Amino acid sequence: MGIPAQQKLLGKKILITAGGTREKIDPVRYITNNSSGKMGIALANASAKMGADVTLVSTFAVEGNFKNIITDTAKDMEKVVKANLFEQDCVIMAAAVSDYRVKNYSEQKIKKGENEGLTLELVKNPDILMEISAMTTPHPNPLPKGEGDCDLCKPIIVGFCAESENLLENAKTKIKNKGCDYIVANDISRKDIGFNSDENEVYIIDKNLNINHIEKDSKENIAFKILENIFE
């Protein structure tokens, strides 16, 4: 292991999402994606080693020194993330959330029909990252003049950005559109890093569009470096 754990996050609460959401078609079928969840799990392990109180919201069970809440669909994950949002110091959305879900879930297993084709209608899922970035909560003590919501009461919100082309351009557009505090961008066109790989290479972009390059390394070491960067 590269970076010492240092207990730098003692007293911090961190919620991390991981894995690909599963959008149900019928009781036995669903739409999902190729996400292994490895980066999110590495972040959960690294945060715990650095002393944080960690909640991992994942699409499959994960053992570790953290609380694990298992979710299924994007709507399910949205509910859990929003319900736990304002007790966190930081929320990291590393999950690959499906952009769409099936409009009409079939209670019964869909039978093979006479037709050659089958059409599924999809509807847009909520963008969890965008929605939580826009959420505010009243300050516990009245603000000067007693009005307004408090940005200080919000956790630091971090999103991921997986792109196969124009990585930094798209990541800069994404941080503006989503309204989060940081975007961690990685290039999924490369076979040696990213999706399903044990290694990654990322760029961390902040709201002022400052870019910090983290060179290729194990996902565990990348996770430590991301956390060091966010909490420096």
If binding is defined by CB under 6 A, does position 93 make contact with ligand C5P? yes
Q: How far apart are CA 46 and CA 62, in angstroms?
A: 14
Mark residues 206-225: x for contact with ligand C5P by CB under 6 A, - for none: --------------------
Identity of residue 187: D
Q: Give one word for 155, left, alpha or beta, with left for phi > 0 and alpha for psi -120 to 50.
A: beta
If binding is defined by CB under 6 A, does position 74 make contact with ligand C5P? yes
Q: Which segment (6-14, 61-69, 121-129, 219-227) binds ligand C5P by CB under 6 A?
A: 121-129
- Whether 33 sits among the annotated catalytic residues: the reply is yes
165, 189 Cβ separation under 8 angstroms: yes
Q: Which residues contact 176 (CB under 8 A, 6 or more apart)?
A: none
207, 185 Cβ separation under 8 angstroms: no
Interacting positions 143-182 with ligand C5P (CB under 6 A): 159-161
The DSSP secondary-structure symbol of 180 reads -
Identity of residue 230: I
Size of the site for ligand C5P (CB under 6 A): 12
Interacting positions 22-61 with ligand C5P (CB under 6 A): none
Quickly list DSSP for 66-114: SEEEE--SHHHHHHHHHHHGGG-SEEEE-SB--SEEESS--SSPPPP-S
3-state secondary structure of 3: coil
If binding is defined by CB under 6 A, does position 99 make contact with ligand C5P? yes
Tell me how far, at minimum, the Cβ of 191 lies from ligand C5P, in Å: 20
- Closer residue to ligand C5P (CB): 99 or 198: 99
Tell me how far, at minimum, the Cβ of 85 lies from ligand C5P, in Å: 12
Tell me how far, at minimum, the Cβ of 14 lies from ligand C5P, in Å: 15
- 14, 50, 54, 128: residue in contact with ligand C5P (rule CB under 6 A): 128
Residues that bind ligand C5P (CB under 6 A): 74, 93, 95, 97, 99, 125, 127-129, 159-161
> Which residues are part of the catalytic machinery?
33
